[in-house]
Amino acid sequence: MLNPNIRSPKTPSLLFHKMVLGTVAAILALPIIATFVYSISSSWGATIMPDALSIKWYLQLWQDPRFLMAFGRSLLICFGTLLISVLVILPMTFAVFYRFPKLKGLMDLLIILPFAIPPVVSSVGLLQIFADEPFMLVGTPWILIGTYFTITLPFMYRALANSFQGINLHDLMDAAHLLGASTFKAFLMIVLPNIRKGLLVSLLISFSFLMGEFVFANILVGTRFETLQIYLFNMRQTSGHFTSALVMSYFLFTLLLTGLATRLNRAGDER
């Protein structure tokens, strides 16, 4: 019979892991907390704590038509890019893993090409191509959607590829074909629910990256199609409290969207 006074050897190790995770979480949360406190302070000078708390910076921000327009433009570009990316990358990944498995190595090489060229360099090339006739796209949202598609390609393909590798794709498709389903119907009804989590993760990562993208937006469109990051850059000299409120609004919106997507994903698992 085991002595109940003898402590499990895993207890100190578990406590150490919790301390490490807690320390890392505190370090990561500290800048966010400081930014939030600064965004709700009316003034914060030489004292440790703010002189007074106020939400006037948030009211000023959300009553600014220029901010609302910039925020709407960013959402339009992000959702448009993600829609095109899903319609292109998802079938492409399925085709590679189901019909052309020999292309996996080539695809792994091709998807890292967007990271091989710095955004500043590629922006200069895009300016040379799309600044004149017949494709005058510089200064329009269409060139941002096109460039953002190349940004989402590595994130989405890698996440979807991991999902396809985690399922028995050929067995699922063969079983569906034996039951009389077409390839398209089998993909929608069987394969897509099995890779839903990977697709959701790829969309969230891509959305977070695109909402914070600045280099392409600044060089290719600038103030002619002011996005959220361009607006933040242009307003950086106004007030640190105001820009902190802007950053926290963006962070809270992303957090809310992530929580909503997670809840929808859990609701799908319970069905």
Whether residue 144 is found in the same domain as residue 240: yes
Range of the domain at 83: 63-266
- pLDDT recorded at residue 270: 61
Could you tell me if residue 161 is inside a domain? yes
Q: What φ, ψ does residue 269 adopt, rounded to 5°? A: -70, -30
Domain count of the fold of the chain: 2
Whether residue 94 is found in the same domain as residue 19: no
Domain end call among 29, 52, 75: 52
Whether residue 47 is found in the same domain as residue 67: no
Whether residue 81 is found in the same domain as residue 140: yes
Size (the chain), residues = 271
Token output for 20:
């490490």
pLDDT in tens, 169-211: 888 888 888 888 888 998 988 888 888 888 888 888 888 888 8
Whether residue 130 is found in the same domain as residue 222: yes
Could you tell me if residue 144 is inside a domain? yes
Q: How far is Cα 124 from Cα 130, in angstroms, rounded to an integer? A: 10
Whether residue 39 is found in the same domain as residue 72: no
Q: How far is Cα 198 from Cα 256, in angstroms, rounded to an integer? A: 19
Strand partners, 41: 53
Can you tell me whether residue 32 is helix, strand or coil? Answer: helix
Could you tell me if residue 5 is inside a domain? no
Could you tell me if residue 112 is inside a domain? yes
Whether residue 114 is found in the same domain as residue 40: no
- pLDDT recorded at residue 1: 47
- pLDDT recorded at residue 2: 46
pLDDT in tens, the chain (271 residues): 445 554 445 566 788 888 888 899 889 888 888 888 888 887 776 667 777 788 888 888 899 999 999 999 999 999 999 999 999 999 999 999 988 888 888 888 888 888 888 888 888 888 888 877 777 888 888 999 989 998 898 889 988 998 998 888 888 888 888 888 888 998 988 888 888 888 888 888 888 888 888 888 888 888 888 888 899 888 877 778 888 888 899 888 888 888 887 787 676 666 6
Q: How far is Cα 104 from Cα 107, in angstroms, rounded to an integer? A: 5
Q: How far is Cα 39 from Cα 41, in angstroms, rounded to an integer? A: 6
Could you tell me if residue 215 is inside a domain? yes
Q: How far is Cα 226 from Cα 69, in angstroms, rounded to an integer? A: 8
- CA 187, 202, 204 angle in degrees (round to 5)? 125
Could you tell me if residue 29 is inside a domain? yes
pLDDT in tens, 208-249: 888 888 888 888 888 888 888 899 888 877 778 888 888 899
Strands 52-53 and 41-43: antiparallel
